[in-house]
Amino acid sequence: MTELLQQVINGLSLGAIYALIALGYTMVYGVLRFINFAHSDVFMLGAFTAFYSSRALGRWGFAGGGFLGGLLVLVISMAACAVIGVLIERLAYRPLRKRSTLTVLITAIGVSLFLQNGGQMVFGVNPKAFPNIFPSQTFKLGGLVINSNQLVVLGVALALLSALHWIVQRTRIGTAMRAVSFNATAASLVGIDTNRIISFTFGLGSALAGAGGVLYGMNYPSIEPLMGNSPGLKAFIAAVLGGIGSLPGAALGGMVLGFVETGVSGTRWSTYRDAVAFAILIGILLFRPAGLLGRNRIEKV
Amino acid sequence: MNRLSLLPGGRSLATLGAVILGSIALTLVGCKKEVSGGAGAAPGSEPIRVGEYASLHGSEATFGQSSHNGTVIAVEEINAAGGVLGRKIELITDDNQSKSGESATIVKKFISRDKVVAVLGEVASGRSLEAAPICQTNHIPMVSPSSTNPDVTATGDYIFRVCFTDPFQGRLLAEFARKSLKATKVALLTDVASAYSAGLAKYFREPFEKNGGQVVIEQKYTGKDKDFRAQLTAIKAANVSAIVVPGYYTEVGLIVAQARQLGINVPIFGGDGWEAPELIEIAGAQNLENTFYSTHFSPEVKNPLIEKFVAAYKTKFGQVPDAMAALGYDSAVVLFDAIQRAGSTEGPKIRDALAATKDYPCLTGKTTLDAERNATKSAVIITVKDGKFKYLETVEP
């Protein structure tokens, strides 16, 4: 029983990170109908921004390792990633806005390779030890062990998810995002500046990826420029699993994937972890092609 | 009309021709320079080329860099002493970035383009296994500094190694677990994507179970994984008295940290894949208390050969050499000794001389290459105390 509960906690903290990254994929898909493959590298940049900014803060005498210091590092990373996301959209994707989705997709892969190899040049290829940006403590409840980092991950992920929900459902810009997602041409006809909305979406999604990178680094403190590959792929699966284009779907998909992975890893079949994850994806797509919470969209030809 | 359309065509053709001629001329100049450089020294004394493929970047970079540094010191020493067969040694190094698939390409290039007489490499068994068949088919001797998987030298009679093998290391760890740790029930956590890890796990299990030990639970992971909490939670529930992690430091660091976070305080131990300063950085010093690993060499051992090497290494690279550096050095000196004894740079002759290596004094102990082309030598056990690696004991084969 204790083992099961412990695995649930492990699954939650892994799923929360997948969910944060999956949201970025799904948001961009929602407004632009393409998969931003560079998203997982923005995630990596988030982790590295945290690495360097926490060092810099420490050097300037700002108490490193405190709770406020940790939040500051998180905010810096999110802001940096938002700027990077907007820049990527402005420089790489906007010039191709009128081209076919395939062209943009290939460009996204190019941007991803650029960031990965650029990262290897700038940061070096060797794994770096991620600093403890939040005070780390371990709590014991009976046989259960919970690390404060896991709690921070869950807390931050929940806070960001609610913030995102509020932005999309309750603010003017969120309404505009939904309008663009529904029909970009109609949205521009009623006076919505679609370019601005798309920039905003990229910024928002990239900020979430940045936060995901920081949380990932805290939980698994060894970061390197190719670290985005595996979680990026998993988050992409999570987004498809939950129904790409749907925000609650991405969050749900991330959680499902986190649970499945820990569930399988804890058994004798741990090597089949990815196989099980993909089998579930295929199963769901067979019976619900739009994903768990996705709506079937009828495409007019 | 015809002339008009022909003219620009002709022109661009001429330009193209000029460019091609130019580049040929440039290449010729380049070639000539190289040749004259060789001929500038006394005839017949152009350097002997030795190829080295290494993981200078990527996940096993710490090992690759150390091993390469050790090799460089060996080459500098031999060249300062007049070289081999009166010729200098030229070391050609290429980086496989710790990626699979690269080593084969590099070694093919070494043999066909650089015309090397022998190949040195590499630290990771999986990548040595890629290069070994190519060296074997081309009859170019290959000496691996620190690939411990037995399959590496089983590839063929041109493949040698200067380190002990995983069966020996596994037996040693099993003995250490039974005698020093008094462990009866242990858990294994193996990297299934690595030939080294899977092999070492197997060679640990057999002698351990024969001596009355029991592997209660075996969990698996794949290299580059970051989350081991699920596996460790299952291990925790199995109530073991020690955990064996025969992996590489990148994952081992995370495993140890996550195990301690989950409240697993039993000894954790493994093989020479642990040895890297990054292990302490990634895992955190206090998490590494009560952890042990076996390896080839400790700079703390008193021996004039080792003291000289440590001093040379410190002056050149500003740090204390580790086991990989020592083995990198050893692989090179054993090869140079063989070329000297062979009196020739032909592959088959070097091979025969290598096979005859007996009691050659190396940093990692006296080296004899046996009929399986493996080295028999002693091992050391290292522990971590207050964030520093500490020499614990030497184990003879």
Q: B246 and B141, same structural domain?
A: no
* B229 contacts on A by Cβ (under 8 Å): 10, 262
Mutate to test the interface with A, among B194, B227, B250 (most CBs of A within 10 A): B227
Q: Is residue B138 part of a domain?
A: yes
Given a cut of 50, whether residue B37 has pLDDT beyond it is: no
- The closest alpha carbon to B146, from B133, B160, B163, belongs to B163
Query: How many independent structural domains does chain B possess?
Result: 2
Inter-chain touch A125–B263, beta carbons under 8 Å:
no
Q: B305 and B233, same structural domain?
A: no
* B97 contacts on A by Cβ (under 8 Å): 125
The structure tokens 């997709």 sit at A105
Q: B152 and B61, same structural domain?
A: yes
Q: B156 and B171, same structural domain?
A: no
User: Which ipTM score applies to this complex?
Assistant: 0.79
Is B45 touching A (CB cutoff 8 A)? no
The structure tokens 């699966």 sit at A237
Inter-chain touch B254–A10, beta carbons under 8 Å:
no
Q: Please count the residue pairs, one from chain A and one from chain B, whose beta carbons lie less than 8 angstroms apart.
A: 85
Q: B172 and B160, same structural domain?
A: no
Residue A163: CA count within 13 A, CB half-sphere: 11
Q: B341 and B267, same structural domain?
A: no
The structure tokens 């590489």 sit at B248
DSSP code for A89: I
Tens of pLDDT along B324-380?
A: 999 999 999 999 999 999 999 999 999 999 999 998 989 988 888 988 899 888 888
| One pLDDT digit (tens) per residue for chain A, 301 residues | 788 888 998 899 899 999 999 998 998 888 888 889 999 999 999 999 999 999 888 887 665 557 888 899 999 999 999 999 999 999 999 999 888 888 999 999 999 999 999 998 899 877 888 888 888 788 888 778 888 888 888 999 899 989 999 999 999 999 999 999 888 899 999 999 999 999 999 999 999 999 999 999 988 888 999 999 989 999 999 999 999 888 899 999 999 999 999 999 888 888 888 899 889 889 988 988 888 888 766 555 5
Q: Is residue B201 part of a domain?
A: yes
d(CA A8, CA B314): 49
d(CA B263, CA A204): 38
d(CA B172, CA B379): 8
Inter-chain touch B61–A126, beta carbons under 8 Å:
yes
CB-based contact B150:B125 (threshold 8 Å): no
Inter-chain touch B233–A216, beta carbons under 8 Å:
no
**Residue of B233, B250, B278 with shortest CB distance to A266:** B233
Q: What is the CATH number of the domain that holds B226?
A: 3.40.50.2300
Q: How close A205 comes to chain B (CA, Å)?
A: 24
Range of the domain at B232: 167-295
Could you say which of B264, B295, B326 is where a domain stops?
B295
Q: Is residue B330 part of a domain?
A: yes
Mutate to test the interface with A, among B261, B278, B287 (most CBs of A within 10 A): B261
Question: pTM of the prediction?
Answer: 0.77
Q: Which chain A residue shows the shortest CA-CA distance from B189?
A: A270
Q: B173 and B145, same structural domain?
A: no
d(CA A241, CA A281): 6
d(CA A65, CA A58): 9
Tens of pLDDT along A104-160?
A: 999 999 999 999 999 988 998 778 888 888 887 888 887 788 888 888 889 998 999
Q: A-side interface with B, Cβ within 8 Å?
A: 2-3, 6-7, 10-11, 14, 120, 125-127, 129, 138, 140, 145, 147, 216, 219-222, 224, 227, 230, 261-268, 270-271
- The β-bridge partners of B218 are B188
Q: B265 and B235, same structural domain?
A: yes
Backbone angles phi, psi at A115, to 5 degrees: -65, -40
Q: B242 and B179, same structural domain?
A: yes
d(CA B245, CA B255): 9
Q: B159 and B70, same structural domain?
A: yes
Is B230 touching A (CB cutoff 8 A)? yes
Inter-chain touch B237–A126, beta carbons under 8 Å:
no
Q: How close A272 comes to chain B (CA, Å)?
A: 10
Q: Is residue B172 part of a domain?
A: yes
* A126 contacts on B by Cβ (under 8 Å): 57-58, 61-62, 278
Q: B348 and B306, same structural domain?
A: yes
* B57 contacts on A by Cβ (under 8 Å): 120, 125-126
Angle ∠(A73,A75,A194) on CA atoms, nearest 5: 150
Burial (CB count <10 Å: 0-12, 13-18, 19+), residue B213? buried
